[in-house]
Chain A
Amino acid sequence: MKKILTGNEAIARGAYEAGCQVAAAYPGTPSTEILENMASYKEIYSQWSVNEKVALEVAGGAAIAGARALCAMKHVGLNVAADPLFTLAYTGINGGLVVVTADDPGLHSSQNEQDNRYYALHAKIPMLEPSDSQECLDYIKYAFQLSEDFDIPVLFRVTTRVCHSKSLVTLGQRQDVRVKEYKKDVKKYCMIPGFAKFRHPVLEKKLKKLRELSNESPLNQIIWGDRKIGIITSGISYQHAREVMGDNASYLKIGLSYPLPDKLIREFAQRVEKLYVVEENDPYIENFVKSLGLDCIGKDAFPICGELNPEIVQRVLVPEKEQKTYCVDVQVPARPPVLCAGCPHRGIFYALKKYKDAVVTGDIGCYSLGILPPLSVTDTLICMGAGISAGIGFEKAFLQGDKDTKVFGVIGDSTFFHSGITSLIDAVYNNSKLAIIILDNRTTAMTGHQENPGTGKTLDGDISPVIDIKEIVRAVGVKPENILVVDPYDLVQTQEAVDKAYEAVEPFVIIAKRPCALLKEVQKQRAKLKCAINQEKCTKCKVCLRLGCPAIAFKEGVMTIDETACNGCTLCMQVCRFGAIERMSK
């Protein structure tokens, strides 16, 4: 049966067909839907973990115990999970272990565009790169087999365009795989120095064999066309190149991209006139080709930064082809993403705006939008957890410079569980006077509403204990009088809390608790709550526009509220000094 699937759906399907038994992940674009789809197969135990490191340790433990296990994350997640990854390469596995890294060339939804192919090289584990949904399914099955054949974790590298594009896939049956027997073997699985030093040469031996395999693997194949141009490529770049050149070039399509196939590359290079390497981001293949002493054109012609597409490939390979199109003289306004109408984060950012002298260290989530005008309060955004820890650094640096600038650290609920707890302990332990604001919107919102330890539900929808953020904050030593829980829809209460935090000289925590406005049950509850402008009272002072609410507009000289978007949060009503905004119940 053929079905149109995204790469992520196909990865989940492939894992199901491969007999995968355990899967773990932390959500992150563009990888999130892999685990969401895994959860639809009841034969697989799937879980959201609190972060990528934990997810990989869960999957790694499951693999050593004998299960076929998969772990998925976005590219920056692998930085978090790198610690277990490097040592799992030494221990090897028992049941197959596949680690999916979803890279984001073009930074559609990420803070950098790091090229995770280097992780395979660095951690010394084989890597596969599918180029469409069918290959996602087929290669995952191959990955589990490869993992078990070589007793090694396999890195499965995809990119946004592979994850989120859809193409036709032929579905198969689930393979009947049993959880293998686990035998205690401390010399293999306990990496104390005395044992680990013997595992390193074992790993090097595996890599030698994998190098041979790479030259013979069906995943690395030559597709002959015109031999004037030869293109070495992998992943989505292959599809772009083939689209542009068709039969007017020959291709060495690389699916097993670590270790790279040296003999095959030499053979291909000898039989074509001009050799190109078409790859996104870093010159990973190109550097290897050049290390073989072969001439090729790569990053001299193709960009390192950003995503590739057929147009860029065409400009390099077929520069004579003209691209004609239309153009009209209209200044198109930018349309940046914004905090939604009724977003509970807005109240906190509005209250923080009062303190122009303060520094606000931000974190990863919807609330990163607090950077943009008109709120414009956030100073830094680096990675998960840094909303708190970078704030500690700011405060200590200011102290060293004899300044008493107030620092606020802002972090979301899911992000707090991910990496904020250790940072909070650091703040308490080191007597920081950082004011921390935990934006608890009761979900992992940015990636599309995944459950987390605070929501009381697992990935499967099963009931689990609700982990109380306030109790954690108290338990790590923040004094009870320095912990405030506020409703960010209540601007007076929120402003009072922020004012108090500003004055505090000890670690201070505000928990802004209000569920995401887009949660289905919230939308249902608030469906009839609306605010409207009383045009007679409105002076058009535009103070309400400073909230940056997409439901409020100044159109044709009149202030309006879009009632389909408004959820009656009443922030605009609370900032209006003329009583011109009224609450209505439809």
Chain B
Amino acid sequence: MTRSLILAGVGGQGTILASNILAQGLINQGYDVKMSEIHGMAQRGGSVNTQIRFGKKVYSPMIASGEADLILAFEKVEAVRYLNYLKPGGTLIVNDYEIYSTTVLTGQEKYPTDVLDKLKDTIENLFVIPAAKIAKDLGNIKAQNMVLLGAAVKALGIVVDTNWQDVIMAYLPERYHNVNIRAFKEGIEAV
């Protein structure tokens, strides 16, 4: 059976790197993997999302609404933006982190204050993770993507199927190995 994941965040949060590592780990397990992302304008502080599908044989790289087994949201309102993709009973992992868009910064719109409460009321399989705080405490807030990756790997039940540490190291310069691997492990613990 094909499983589908969405990684959603804001340009600059490292969603694409996390997606690449996740996809490579799945390939190492022998899955057929397809992954779809959008480049270009979105890089400039816009909303970004990557879709990953894996199974025995995958055709479309895109996910229909109500078909995602897991959504990994790097930012709170981004979780809501892509929520319609989540399958009934699917898992939602949310980074407890806010990034204001320019429409909020300039007062055209308000950043909603009750996102987490509303998600808690609605989603059975919800994990709220302070990934940014965990990464900051480890010494580099940019490693929040690895905290979230660890959480996703745990939620998907594929922690032991791949040597994730090796995959992470293959994608990052050596000086960042330590903090990112520690971040990944904390993510596993958080779920």
Contact = CB atoms under 8 A, between A and B. Distances in A.
- Do A and B pair up? The answer is yes
B38 interface: yes
B10 A333 contact: no
A240 B33 contact: no
A338 interface: yes
Residue among B43, B65, B78, B81 with the highest chain A CB neighbour number at 10 A: B43
Given A242-B59, A324-B66, A166 B23 contact: yes
A335 B41 CA distance: 12
Contact of A369 (B33, B44, B87, B104): B44
B27 interface: yes
Interface stretch (B107-115, B146-154, B155-163, B178-186): B107-115
Interface string A154-179: 00000011001111100000000000
A448 interface: yes
A554 interface: yes
A447 B35 contact: no
A334 B80 CA distance: 12
B101 A333 contact: yes
A330 B115 contact: yes
17 contacts: A4-B27, A4-B33, A109-B42, A132-B61, A161-B62, A165-B37, A166-B36, A168-B33, A239-B60, A242-B60, A311-B64, A325-B66, A326-B86, A332-B112, A335-B77, A337-B41, A339-B44
Interface residues of B, number: 62
Given A161-B36, A325-B66, A331-B112, 5 more contacts: A29-B41, A242-B59, A327-B83, A328-B119, A372-B102
A310 B63 contact: yes
A374 B106 CA distance: 7
Judged by DSSP, the binding face of A is: loop
Interface string B27-51: 1000011111111111111110000
Contacts of B60: 236, 239-240, 242-244, 309-310
Contact of B35 (A166, A324, A373, A446): A166
A545 B11 contact: no
Contacts of A160: 38
Interface string A362-382: 000010010011100000000
Contacts of A236: 60-61
A4 B27 CA distance: 8
B164 interface: no
B40 A545 contact: no
Nearest to A445: B44
B101 A335 contact: yes
Given A448-B39, A545-B107, A564-B141, A326 B123 contact: yes
A567 B103 CA distance: 21
A337 B45 contact: yes
A158 to B, nearest CB: 13
Given A4-B33, A333-B77, A550 B45 contact: yes
Contact of A109 (B23, B40, B59): B40
B84 A325 contact: yes
Given A310-B60, A328-B119, A109 B41 contact: yes
A236 B36 CA distance: 12
Contacts, number: 192
B64 to A, nearest CB: 4
A467 to B, nearest CB: 26
B147 to A, nearest CB: 17
Contact of B109 (A165, A333, A448): A333
A165 to B, nearest CB: 4
B63 A326 contact: no
A108 to B, nearest CB: 5
Contact of B105 (A164, A311, A550): A550
A336 B101 contact: yes
A323 B61 contact: no
Nearest to B113: A330
A167 B55 CA distance: 12
Given A330-B112, A330-B114, A555-B100, A335 B47 contact: yes
Interface string A333-351: 1111111100000000000
A30 interface: yes
Contacts of B24: 4
Contacts of A335: 10, 45-47, 77-78, 81, 101, 103
A309 B53 CA distance: 14
Contacts of B65: 311, 323, 325
Contact of A314 (B41, B64, B123): B64
Contact of A336 (B39, B46, B111): B46
B88 interface: yes
Contacts of A323: 64-67
B127 interface: no
Interface string A171-206: 000000000000000000000000000000000000
Nearest to B61: A165
A548 B59 CA distance: 42
A330 B103 contact: no
